[in-house]
């Protein structure tokens, strides 16, 4: 047969052809790659399912065959909706979410209730006609079960003999999925899962329903941690992949011995055995009879009949303490006994055993007490409380709280040792305080504050400090004993010219930490430390900068001038002459003579942004009047050269003379030059001699030149 017309092929794909023509084209498509490719392209671009026409009015066999094929096609798709025949018109199917040996599970929506459900189709090819009636009866029983640990069945029915089941829609994963992801499950979590599953089985058993296929794959954990039993009752009436000619059904890895012989006569004790095997698998991550050792179904069935379960000490020797492992082994032995008579006779008995095993772990108060005594050994009576903590750790360990026991024992030992060390240091500090507290009062007589736990200093000594010692008008309320002792030691180091001690004490004065805040002393200590050793750590440098900004912002002129120096030199901050001038100006306005000199210098050189010799002279004058030699010298030069003022020999002589009398050889030399310029040689010679005696080279050179002139004699010994 040649390829059909594409339009006719499309009709075939959509299921719109007569039965005869449909069958002809279908036979052709099976052997034609070209037509198959076209159909695949239409399939991938289709949002819904158009694989097979379903005619509810056709003969029963044809209808069932069509529905079987239809579900086959839908099962191969990743998404889309399956339009149901009229019998299922109240449900709208979506994507397939699972599959099993007897059918496929689809996500669906119950149209009128807008409820999300799961619909499972049981295929006709997987069950016998007699089993259909038994399946219907079983669904009626399950529908009457109501338990939070059993998946809820909402509806059941059949389409021309093909059964389906509508169940609650579950989000989460099976225990099998969890084990495959994690390797195994912690004993505490495994107990919680098995106890919930056992409670669900108890409800089923009370309704004479035996699951017969309890295994990790049939235990579902939803997002809230609730365990749901799946496929309840299906194994009783339907065969799965493990079924053979003798009528044995179940999963060989978890089947009870009696179930390996004949499935029809087993009772609830078979489910208890399977639950025990499941618990073993969860905590060990190993199947009771692994496929590596038992590769065939028959070998596994024989092992379930004859071989005991492996011992926990052989499979997971480090999981439990010896005491705890024996308790677990006893419970597993009773749940997985080969003879049903030696097993738990009801699920409730198994639940009681599992709950007792769970409660054998240390109680919460006992665990808290272990940690509490461990920590107390750090703070008080270390040996006494450490021993109690170790005893409680041992008890918690033996009762099953193995991790808590190990941690508490270690914590008791460590805290006990640290507590002993801290206690020794504490008493040493107490004895040391008796020596250094009086020294604190002595060294900081004007800046002291009351010491905690020591008799406060009297009001007279408090008020004896001058008003400048408290920069912000407040004083600390008290200082800890250890702080007072430490400050006394720091003071002694300062007296020994230790620059680090100077900086530490300066920071204390800046912050008012242990002493009354005193910016003047803080600034002086920083200056002394820099004079002794200016090599400081990054932390010390940053503290000094922070202190400078803090004092400057509080209006302390010396700190403002220091910030000006820092910005001018770029030492500790970015170099910025404008910021430097701003800080110098703030200090100058408060009367700081050095800052006034810096302002005048920057105005005369133009570093202030503009060059203004008149203003420079004004600031030189303010500083010079306070006795600053540099300003007096600069002012004398201005008058001598007529810079910023009119040239005035008298004023030049006056200010240069004031500067020279303070002993700087440069200033003395400049005064001599002024005298030489105006012909006053005798005065000039006298100041040149003074400058030369101090080793000032320009003065020596000038005197040497003058000495060679005829008629001039200079006596350097005067």
Q: What is the pLDDT of residues 537-566, one digit of tens each?
A: 888 888 888 998 999 999 999 999 999 989
More confident residue, 202 or 361: 202
How far apart, in whole angstroms, are the C-alpha atoms of residue 406 and residue 396? 9
User: At residue 686, does pLDDT exceed 60?
Assistant: yes
Amino acid 68: pLDDT? 53
The tokens of 18 are what? 């007569």
User: At residue 39, does pLDDT exceed 70?
Assistant: no
CA-to-CA separations, 61 to 20, 65, 160, 164, 655, in angstroms, rounded: 17, 6, 9, 17, 129
How far apart, in whole angstroms, are the C-alpha atoms of residue 699 and residue 202? 116
Provide mean pLDDT across the span 661-669: 92
More confident residue, 374 or 137: 374
Of the candidate ranges 233-237, 331-335, 533-537, 651-655, the one whose mean pLDDT is the lowest: 233-237
More confident residue, 500 or 716: 500
How far apart, in whole angstroms, are the C-alpha atoms of residue 352 and residue 331? 10
Q: Given pLDDT bands bounded at 50, 70 and 90, which one contains residue 244?
A: very low
The tokens of 644 are what? 């910023």
More confident residue, 369 or 306: 306
Q: Which residue has the tokens 């010896």?
A: 322
Q: Is 305 helix (H, G, I), strand (E, B) or coil?
A: helix
Provide mean pLDDT across the span 45-58: 34
User: At residue 347, does pLDDT exceed 70?
Assistant: yes
Cβ atoms of 283 and 190 within 8 Å: the answer is yes
Q: Given pLDDT bands bounded at 50, 70 and 90, which one contains residue 502?
A: very high
Amino acid 284: pLDDT? 93
Q: Is 557 helix (H, G, I), strand (E, B) or coil?
A: helix
Amino acid 346: pLDDT? 92
Cβ atoms of 583 and 560 within 8 Å: the answer is yes
Amino acid 77: pLDDT? 43
Amino acid 404: pLDDT? 76
User: At residue 48, does pLDDT exceed 50?
Assistant: no
Q: What is the pLDDT of residues 82-137, one digit of tens each?
A: 444 544 557 777 888 876 555 678 888 887 777 888 888 766 555 565 555 555 65
Provide mean pLDDT across the span 219-226: 91
Cβ atoms of 271 and 318 within 8 Å: the answer is no
Residue 117 has phi, psi (to 5 degrees) of -135, 175
User: At residue 17, does pLDDT exceed 70?
Assistant: no
Q: What is the pLDDT of residues 569-623, one digit of tens each?
A: 888 888 999 999 999 999 999 999 999 999 999 999 888 888 999 999 999 999 9
Of the candidate ranges 32-36, 331-335, 484-488, the one whose mean pLDDT is the lowest: 32-36
Amino acid 363: pLDDT? 59
Residue 646, burial from CB neighbour count under 10 angstroms (0-12, 13-18, 19+): exposed
User: At residue 55, does pLDDT exceed 90?
Assistant: no
User: At residue 369, does pLDDT exceed 60?
Assistant: yes
Half-sphere CA count of 475, side-chain side, radius 13 A = 19
How far apart, in whole angstroms, are the C-alpha atoms of residue 477 and residue 463? 14
- Listed residue (124, 120, 126, 117) closest to 139, CA to CA: 120
H/E stretch holding 228: strand 227-229
Amino acid 439: pLDDT? 84
Q: Is 109 helix (H, G, I), strand (E, B) or coil?
A: strand
More confident residue, 284 or 236: 284
Amino acid 43: pLDDT? 45
The tokens of 331 are what? 């419970």
Q: What is the pLDDT of residues 391-426, one digit of tens each?
A: 877 777 666 666 777 877 887 888 878 877 777 666
CA-to-CA separations, 478 to 429, 458, 462, 515, in angstroms, rounded: 18, 13, 12, 9
Q: Given pLDDT bands bounded at 50, 70 and 90, which one contains residue 461?
A: very low
User: At residue 323, does pLDDT exceed 80?
Assistant: no
């Amino acid at each position: 047969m040649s390829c059909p017309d594409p339009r006719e092929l499309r009709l075939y794909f959509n299921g719109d052809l007569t039965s005869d023509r449909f069958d002809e084209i279908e036979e052709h498509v099976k052997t034609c790659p070209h037509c198959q490719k076209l159909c695949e392209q239409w399939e991938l671009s289709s949002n819904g399912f158009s694989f097979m026409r379903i005619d509810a009015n056709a003969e029963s066999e044809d209808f069932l065959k069509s529905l079987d094929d239809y579900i086959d096609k839908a099962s191969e798709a990743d998404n889309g909706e399956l339009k149901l025949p009229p019998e299922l018109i109240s449900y709208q199917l979506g994507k397939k979410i699972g599959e099993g040996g007897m059918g496929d599970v689809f996500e669906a929506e119950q149209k009128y209730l807008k409820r999300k459900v799961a619909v499972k189709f049981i295929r006709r090819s997987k069950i016998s006609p007699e089993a259909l009636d038994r399946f219907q009866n079983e669904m009626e029983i399950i529908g009457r079960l109501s338990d939070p640990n059993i998946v809820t069945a909402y509806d059941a029915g059949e389409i021309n003999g093909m059964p389906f089941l509508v169940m609650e829609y579950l989000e989460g994963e099976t225990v099998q999925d969890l084990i495959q992801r994690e390797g195994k499950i912690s004993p505490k979590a495994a107990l919680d899962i098995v106890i919930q599953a056992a409670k669900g089985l108890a409800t089923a058993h009370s309704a004479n329903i035996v699951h017969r296929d309890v295994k990790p794959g049939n235990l579902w954990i939803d997002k809230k941690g609730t365990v749901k039993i799946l496929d309840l009752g299906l194994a009783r009436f339907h065969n799965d992949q493990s079924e053979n000619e003798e009528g044995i059904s179940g999963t060989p890895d978890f089947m009870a011995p009696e179930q390996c012989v004949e499935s029809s006569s087993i009772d609830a004790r078979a489910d208890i055995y399977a639950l025990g095997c499941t618990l073993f698998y969860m905590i060990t991550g190993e199947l009771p009879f692994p496929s590596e050792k038992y590769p065939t179904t028959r070998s596994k069935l024989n092992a379930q009949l004859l071989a005991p379960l492996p011992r926990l000490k052989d499979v997971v020797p480090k999981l439990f303490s010896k005491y705890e492992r024996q308790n677990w082994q006893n419970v597993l032995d009773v749940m997985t006994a080969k003879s049903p008579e030696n097993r738990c006779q009801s699920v409730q008995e198994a639940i009681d055993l599992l709950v007792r095993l769970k409660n054998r772990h240390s109680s919460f108060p006992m665990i808290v007490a272990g940690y509490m005594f461990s920590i107390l050994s750090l703070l008080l009576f270390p040996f006494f409380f450490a021993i109690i903590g170790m005893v409680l750790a041992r008890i918690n360990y033996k009762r099953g709280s193995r991790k808590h026991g190990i941690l508490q024992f270690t914590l008791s030992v460590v805290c006990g040792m640290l507590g002993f060390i801290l206690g020794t240091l504490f008493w040493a500090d107490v004895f040391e305080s008796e020596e250094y507290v009086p020294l604190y009062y002595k060294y900081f007589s004007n800046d002291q504050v009351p010491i905690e736990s020591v008799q406060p200093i009297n009001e007279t000594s408090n008020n004896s400090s001058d008003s400048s010692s408290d920069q912000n008008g407040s004083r600390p309320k008290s200082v800890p004993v250890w702080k007072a002792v430490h400050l006394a030691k720091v003071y002694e180091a300062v007296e020994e010219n230790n620059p680090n001690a100077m900086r530490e004490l300066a920071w204390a004065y800046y912050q008012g930490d242990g002493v009354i805040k005193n910016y003047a002393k803080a600034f002086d200590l920083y200056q002394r430390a820099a004079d002794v050793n200016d090599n400081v750590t990054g932390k010390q440098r940053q503290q000094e900068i922070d202190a400078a900004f803090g004092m400057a912002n509080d209006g302390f002129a010396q700190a403002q001038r220091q910030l000006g120096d820092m910005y001018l030199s770029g030492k500790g901050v970015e170099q910025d002459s404008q910021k430097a001038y701003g800080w110098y100006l703030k200090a100058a306005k408060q009367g700081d003579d050095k800052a006034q000199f810096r302002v005048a210098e920057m105005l005369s050189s133009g570093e202030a942004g503009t060059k203004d010799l008149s203003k420079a002279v004004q600031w030189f004058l303010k500083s010079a009047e306070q006795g600053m030699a540099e300003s007096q010298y600069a002012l004398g030069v201005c008058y001598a050269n007529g810079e910023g003022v009119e040239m005035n020999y008298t004023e030049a002589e006056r200010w240069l003379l004031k500067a020279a009398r303070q002993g700087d050889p440069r200033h003395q030399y400049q005064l001599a030059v002024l005298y030489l310029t105006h012909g006053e040689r005798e005065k000039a010679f006298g100041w040149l001699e003074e400058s030369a005696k101090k080793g000032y080279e320009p003065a020596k050179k000038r005197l040497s030149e003058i000495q060679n002139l005829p008629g001039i004699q200079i006596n350097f010994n005067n």
